[in-house]
Every structure is written in C-alpha cells, then in structure tokens.
Chains A and B, each alone.
Chain A
Amino acid sequence: QITLKESGPTLVKPTQTLTLTCTFSGFSLRTNGVGVGWIRQPPGKALEWLALVYWDDDTRYGPSLKSRLTITKDTSKNQVVLTMTNLDPVDTATYYCARLYGSGNDWNWYFDLWGRGTLDTVSS
C-alpha cells in the first residue's frame, strides 16, 4: 500500500520560512520514472503545482514561486522536504504532496497518489 503524509507547522508568521516534510511508503524515490511533488490549495481556491523532485535528483519549480522554494529528498528516510521563504498571508493554504508517475516523457506524467494535506496558516 502506497501512502504519503505531510507534516509541518500549522501556523507561521509573516516573513518566516515554512518547512514541510512529505513522508511516504510503498514506493522508492530510487525507482526510475518516479517523482514527488508539492501542490497547494488556498481555502476555496484551485490547485497550484509548486515543485517536484525526481528519482535522479532533478528538480522543477513552478514559475510564480520559484525564487522562494527549495525541494530536496532523503531517499534513506523516504522523505521529501519543501521549504518556502518569506511567507505572506496569501500563502495560507492546504499543502499536498503527491507522487508523480507515468511513462514516456515526464511532461505527460500525472499525480497518481496524494497525501491528505496539511493546512498552513500565515498570520501574525
């Protein structure tokens, strides 16, 4: 059974850095053709892809937040960590991690399994 679970602080102050951890089981990030990504959803709004890391350590970032994000993986712990700097109240959202999976070119891959998400509020 494949599971992903997000963890991190629920309340962060403006200008601080948010660190989120995705702990997964049932698959390995050593496996060719696998990635783990982060997607967020502000309350009542749409999904937004943020970042992803591949099995080969390659990383990709969404254009709107690229300068504020860093994604890393710890294969031995089955974890992926996302850090977001200089937080603002508009960053209040539920943050999901999800497995990116597919065949062929990665731009056609999809998020096949998701964690339950963690709601992070940015407020002073």
Chain B
Amino acid sequence: QSVVTQPPSVSGAPGQRVTISCTGSSSNIGAGYDVHWYQQLPETAPQLLIYANNNRPSGVPARFSGSKSGSSASLAITGLQAEDEADYYCQSYDSSLSAWVFGGGTKLTVL
C-alpha cells in the first residue's frame, strides 16, 4: 500500500472538469517535496504529465493542471476528452523511506 493515496477511480462526461487527489503526509508531500503526475494510456508506458506541482512539459495541453497545498496535491483536467481515458499516477519523495514514491493510481473513465 502506497504512502500517497489516490482515489481508485473517477469519471466525467466529455467537456466536463474532473480532479484527482493525491494525499500524503508530513514525510512526503507535507514535507514540501514536489509532486509530479504521470498519464498511462491503455497498454502503454507512463508519460510525464505535470512536474514540480504545476508545470506542464512541452506538448501537454493546457487542459491539464496541477496544484499542491499542505499534504495534498490535485490534478485537474478541464474540457474532458475521450482520449483522456487513462490511469493517472502522482509521485513524490518520502523522507522516512528515502524513496521516490508513487500513488496507487486513479483510473479515469470518460462517460
């Protein structure tokens, strides 16, 4: 079980806005470590989606945004599209484990 927690699933209709939470503790997100987000499309490798809490790599649409507050972070997707259907993972660092840690993943279903 991961030290950073995500909801197993979220869903939304095309065009809607959805958010995915990533909840940690004082040894990871709450300690000030950055949060990064990855998108894993079906049967493919993860891809970096958001880095350092709220930065988008080149090529990632502005519909994707990240935020962080206290011991939690969130990924928001606006204008939901069918191709956004994927698994999403948050990642941070945990000082108690001395490890880079991933959340359990959230499956996004576009209705």
Contact = CB atoms under 8 A, between A and B. Distances in A.
Interface in A96-124: 96, 100, 102, 107-108, 110-117
A96 B105 CA distance: 16
Contact of A96 (B34, B46, B57, B99): B46
Given A110-B34, A115-B45, A116-B45, A46 B104 contact: yes
B47 interface: yes
A55 B50 CA distance: 24
Interface string A20-40: 000000000000000001010
A110 B51 contact: yes
B103 A46 contact: yes
Contacts of B105: 46-47
B89 A47 contact: yes
A50 to B, nearest CB: 10
B98 A96 contact: no
A114 B93 CA distance: 19
A102 B41 CA distance: 24
Contacts of B57: 112
Nearest to B87: A46
A63 B34 contact: no
A108 B91 contact: no
A115 B13 CA distance: 31
Nearest to B50: A110
Given A96-B46, A116-B45, A110 B99 contact: no
Contacts of B52: 102, 108, 110
Q: Which of A39, A49, A107 has the most CB of B within 10 A?
A: A107
Interface string B22-66: 000000000001101010000011111001100001000000000
Contacts of A9: none
A63 B2 contact: no
Interface of A: 37, 39, 46-49, 52, 60, 62-63, 96, 100, 102, 107-108, 110-117
Interface of B: 2, 33-34, 36, 38, 44-48, 51-52, 57, 89, 91, 93, 95, 97-105
Rank and list the top 7 A-B pairs by shortest CB-CB distance, nearest first: A107-B93, A110-B36, A108-B34, A47-B102, A49-B100, A114-B45, A46-B105
